[in-house]
Structure 1
């Protein structure tokens, strides 16, 4: 029997229809939570599959980069759940490009999707979150170390971590915790597609990690479910890096040869 440590809890997840978000939705459902998740599109089939397994899960379409769409999702989620015990702000977008040619439009899209959406949705849902509720903002290892071409993306991820630390104090007065979860390379459908097209990448990706492998969506989902639960009640304003040791190495052995 699975441990139902989120039994009776109502959890909202953004970007829950694919990738890491899908891992989070599955983990929360497995722990007994009632889940509402959003995705730009194509989430109903997955919601139906979970309901067929006996889980209480609802999909609502939402473009989180749109203030109007995000507000409508917030209102619909509140109407459906009444109270929100956990909010997992996971949805985001990745855009990379030459630093000197990176467009204002792409910079705005990154900021509005990755940062503004988290700020606004948290602001709108916090009033219906009881004492003991928790927020998990999903960032990335790019928030602390990045690569050329990801300047604005990295900036949004660093901003998420900084914003979450401030949220922990602002919302702590209401008895609400806020933490950051920063995954490293994760075997999402998109990443697996890249590997399938270039199988040699698997060896290189594995070599970048201390234990010879990188994260699955199930692993990241389990961590998110823990952080949003009462088991993490001592944690707020913290950041958890889940990268299989990738950031623990100063440089790769090959870099010294």
Structure 2
């Protein structure tokens, strides 16, 4: 029987590549998206064209009613849920002193509340042998200026992940977080000049930016064979410190 995965933020960026990778692994994938139906359907079409099984569902991750509907629809359509991957998130950069608090509240709503709401449904519904994978950031570790508010939201996810893994005792469900470093997605390039990008490309010993496929590979491992990795934040950043 195929494992069933929900990928929030699955219509673009890292989320889409994660959705495609899990489908390639043989999982049935639900692409959860916030607002761009055309982009979500494009992701579903790409998965189906490659021989996979997928569908799309619109839900604001911070809205508990919409998220509950996402999980209920997935269970009715496919019979259960085995994997939940939380890639949905927003990143607004500024020095702490200059940050508009409305931007901080927007990030907190999507990144922290959104992850919490999705996790709450996930832990109530994941089948034995399941995996919950949150998304953090290596910025909590490497302390890049202008990322203070974003890192604060992701630090909350780290704490949530580690505690939730222990709260799932006896359920045979793993809970981990993936913390990408600089990764070549449209979100990453916003507001960065070429000099900044070049400098980031040299930060890792491998001397390149991460690619979405690099991150999807880690998610694939945690979502499938990695049954003895639990309660961890995995820094997928090519060795940036």
The TM-score, its normalising length taken from structure 2, stands at 0.90
Counterpart for residue 27 of structure 1:
21
Counterpart for residue 145 of structure 2:
148
Using the TM superposition, give the Cα deviation of residue 234 of structure 1 relative to its aligned residue in structure 2, in angstroms. 0.7
Aligned Cα root-mean-square deviation (Å): 2.0
Gaps of 5+ in 2: none
| Superposition pairs of residues 150-229 of structure 1, within 5 angstroms | 150-191=147-188, 198-229=193-224
Sort the Cα spacing of 1:152 and 1:193 in 2 relative to 1 into closer, same or farther, 3 A.
Answer: closer
| Structure 2 residue 81 is the aligned partner of structure 1 residue 84 | yes
| Superposition pairs of residues 44-83 of structure 1, within 5 angstroms | 44-83=41-80
The CA deviation string for residues 156-213 of structure 1, in whole angstroms up to 9 with x for no partner, is: 1111111101010111321211011100011113446778xx5555532321111111
Using the TM superposition, give the Cα deviation of residue 23 of structure 1 relative to its aligned residue in structure 2, in angstroms. 1.4
SS in 2 for 1:55: coil
Using the TM superposition, give the Cα deviation of residue 45 of structure 1 relative to its aligned residue in structure 2, in angstroms. 1.3
Gaps of 5+ in 1: 1-6, 248-257
| Structure 2 residue 91 is the aligned partner of structure 1 residue 99 | no
- Contact 1:143/1:161, CA 8 A, preserved across alignment: no
Using the TM superposition, give the Cα deviation of residue 117 of structure 1 relative to its aligned residue in structure 2, in angstroms. 1.4
SS in 1 for 2:55: strand
Q: Which has the larger radius of gyration?
A: 1
- Contact 2:122/2:132, CA 8 A, preserved across alignment: no
Q: Which moved further from structure 2: 140-149 or 81-90? A: 140-149
- 2:70, 2:48 → 1: CA distance? 20
SS in 1 for 2:93: coil
- Contact 1:144/1:158, CA 8 A, preserved across alignment: no
- 1:20, 1:76 → 2: CA distance? 24
- Contact 1:78/1:84, CA 8 A, preserved across alignment: yes
The TM-score, its normalising length taken from structure 1, stands at 0.85
Q: Which moved further from structure 2: 37-46 or 174-183? A: 37-46
Q: Which moved further from structure 2: 168-177 or 95-104? A: 95-104
Sort the Cα spacing of 1:108 and 1:194 in 2 relative to 1 into closer, same or farther, 3 A.
Answer: closer
Counterpart for residue 9 of structure 1:
3
SS in 2 for 1:24: helix
Sort the Cα spacing of 1:107 and 1:191 in 2 relative to 1 into closer, same or farther, 3 A.
Answer: closer
- Contact 1:181/1:241, CA 8 A, preserved across alignment: yes
Sort the Cα spacing of 1:102 and 1:192 in 2 relative to 1 into closer, same or farther, 3 A.
Answer: closer
Using the TM superposition, give the Cα deviation of residue 115 of structure 1 relative to its aligned residue in structure 2, in angstroms. 1.5
| Structure 2 residue 36 is the aligned partner of structure 1 residue 39 | no
